[in-house]
């Protein structure tokens, strides 16, 4: 699944992003270091990036895999995240954070992605409660990218059933460098 990163523009401010949800601006330095098909570099860079997001650190979210418009992130069970004290089930809000971050990572790993992304909208359906004590793993796929918008679907599962805990669909911004607008895809 992991793929090499396309050549990166130099690091630029991403002020055009209206929102930081799942925002994963590409880092020029890491991009150059990850050239020449060093797929491992890509995951390592993305992992580093997720670990640089304070809210993901607070939730213990880690990146398990990324590349070609897909991402896998995991969130271990933590008592602080309980939403229902009677059952010990994790609060939906924590699942939202996992889904949002995973979706943003999937967008950034798409071959036609821009230099940054932000969540425009995200819908989450909670299909069943997550089993207490289990790590929740989210898988997101960016299935279409236009010049300006990326479309994502994602599921979250705790590994106890075929039925996901939750599913999500979202639209994300595609942040382009000013020169990239004419061709759409500079790769």
| CA distance from start to end of the chain | 19
Residue 123 makes contact with other proteins by CB under 8 A: yes
Out of 30, 81, 107, 165, point to the residue binding other proteins (CB under 8 A): 81
* Inter-residue contact 146 to 91 (CB < 8 Å): no
Q: Which is nearer to other proteins, 101 or 137 (CB)?
A: 101
Of the listed pieces 36-44, 112-120, 143-151, 155-163, which binds other proteins according to CB under 8 A? 112-120
Q: Where are the beta strands (DSSP E) in the chain?
A: 62-67, 70-75, 82-84, 89-90, 119-126, 136-145, 149-157, 166-173
d(CA 178, CA 14): 11
Out of 7, 10, 40, 58, point to the residue binding other proteins (CB under 8 A): 58
Residue 100 makes contact with other proteins by CB under 8 A: yes
Residue 130 makes contact with other proteins by CB under 8 A: no
Residue 126 makes contact with other proteins by CB under 8 A: yes
Q: From 37, 22, 32, select the one nearest 107 (Cα to Cα).
A: 22
Out of 71, 106, 113, 122, point to the residue binding other proteins (CB under 8 A): 122
- C-alpha distances (whole Å) from 50 to each of 45, 98, 172 are 9, 11, 17
Residue 46 makes contact with other proteins by CB under 8 A: no
Out of 66, 73, 97, 107, point to the residue binding other proteins (CB under 8 A): 97
């Amino acid at each position: 699944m992991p793929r090499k990163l396309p050549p990166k523009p130099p690091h630029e401010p991403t002020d055009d992003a209206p929102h930081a949800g799942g925002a994963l601006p590409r880092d020029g330095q890491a991009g150059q270091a990850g050239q020449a098909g060093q797929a491992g570099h890509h995951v390592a860079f993305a992992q580093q990036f997720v670990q640089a997001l304070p809210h993901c650190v607070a939730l213990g979210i880690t990146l398990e895999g990324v590349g070609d418009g897909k991402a896998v992130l995991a969130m271990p069970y933590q008592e602080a995240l309980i939403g229902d004290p009677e059952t010990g089930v994790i609060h939906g809000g924590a699942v939202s954070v996992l889904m949002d971050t995973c979706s943003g990572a999937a967008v950034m790993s798409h071959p036609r992605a821009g230099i940054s992304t932000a969540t425009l909208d995200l819908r989450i359906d909670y299909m069943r409660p997550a089993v207490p004590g289990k790590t929740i793993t989210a898988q997101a796929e960016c299935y279409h990218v236009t010049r300006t918008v990326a479309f994502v679907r994602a599921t979250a599962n705790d590994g106890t059933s075929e039925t996901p805990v939750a599913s999500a669909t979202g639209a994300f911004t595609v942040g382009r460098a000013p020169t990239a607008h004419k061709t759409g895809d500079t790769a």
